Chain A
Amino acid sequence: MAGTLPGLLWLGFILSGLLGLGRTFVVEHENDCWEALLLAPGDKSAIYVGKLAGNLLLMLAVEAILVVLFGLFFNLDLAGVLPGLAVVIVLGTVAFAAVGTLFAAMTAQVRARELLFPVLLLPVQAPVLLATVKATEAVLLGEPLGSVAHWLKLLAAADVVYVAVGVLTFDFVLEG
């Protein structure tokens, strides 16, 4: 049972993320503000960073709640592992939100958005999920973060790549 806990935790994070991230630009669509976004002057990447920051805060808040519930239901002593866990969760969530925000913009106008968004996001996030689950596993076992340094480096690299690509390509997504 204990072996499946990291996977279960991240499954919970992903599911909530899919629901929340997918709707990032729906509010603009529903309120006819999409064209306003397209016409906004200046660098559209600022919109991306803003949306990303918002999504990040939201996801981290949900994750914090889920971690507490997890500790409660599975009787885990999280006090000692919390800092390490926090590092892994933040690194993983940045990657998830970075790609999620970009893909949300691209699928906002598609009719089958709720279907296409996860289909696009999940395969891309596979390496991030492997890394976070492995790192979480080690942290929950009480191992030091140094033992999973390679996973953390992969997550950090993913974060940099995804945010950079998002910032650089968002202009092309929000064009007329």
Chain B
Amino acid sequence: MVRVVGGVTLAALAAGLVMGFGVAPREATQGNVQRIMYLHVPSVWVAYLAFAVVLAASIAYLARRAEAADRLAHASAEVGVLFTGLTIATGSIWGKPTWGTWWTWDARLTSVSILFVMYLGYLLLRGMIEDRERGARYAAVLGIVAAFNIPLVHFSVYWWRTLHQPPSLMKPGPGTMPGIIVAALLVNFVAFSLLYVYFVAKRVGLLRREAEAAL
């Protein structure tokens, strides 16, 4: 089953590349370097998806104490941190030719960096508590706090960056973009989401077998 998902994911990723490089047009102001967006934006969307799953799984764990929920939270957080890191890296690489600097404290990069460190802390907490059951409980609480913090991070960073400064070049969301670019973004988002599902499925399987091996 997981292999099937893996196969479909591969196909979707290929389709995403075709859309991003073949179908999507060369952008007027930035040139072809804007194609990094088809990597950067779906990455951050998947990261949010991952952390939403962490929230749901955390609540489910506290409510039902199902080991599966704990494993899902753990795996999703790990993959989420992976995609968050990727978002930051690709954002930085995109920024260098576009803004002339590897780093800038613009709204998206800053929020995503805070998210990255928050969930890295989540993984750290899990790693540092030896008792498995207590680790699961504490991680669930942290997962809930972190998720509720996300909107606060968003607003605070956005106001910090835009109330007295012009908004960044990379406007969030596909609101004002032409249809073909939105389509390419969506195809890549689906591809990355499938990759997320594949990674999480494999990771959960590993966690389950590690737990069984420890018995």
Contact = CB atoms under 8 A, between A and B. Distances in A.
Is there direct touching of A and B in the complex, by C-beta distance under 8 Å?
Answer: yes
Interface of A: 99, 102, 106-107, 109-112, 116, 119-120, 123-124, 126-128, 130-131, 134, 150-151, 154, 157-158, 161-162, 165, 169, 172-173, 175
B62 A169 contact: yes
B36 interface: no
A109 B145 CA distance: 20
Contacts of A161: 148, 152
Contacts of A123: 114, 117-118, 121
Name A's interface SS.
Answer: helix
B148 A116 contact: no
Contacts of B118: 123-124
Contacts, number: 77
Contacts of B141: 102, 106, 169, 172-173
Interface residues of B, number: 27
A136 B195 CA distance: 45
A166 B142 CA distance: 10
Given A102-B141, A173-B137, A175-B137, A116 B125 contact: yes
A45 to B, nearest CB: 13
Given A169-B141, A172-B62, A120 B121 contact: yes
A106 B124 contact: no
Contacts of B124: 116, 119-120
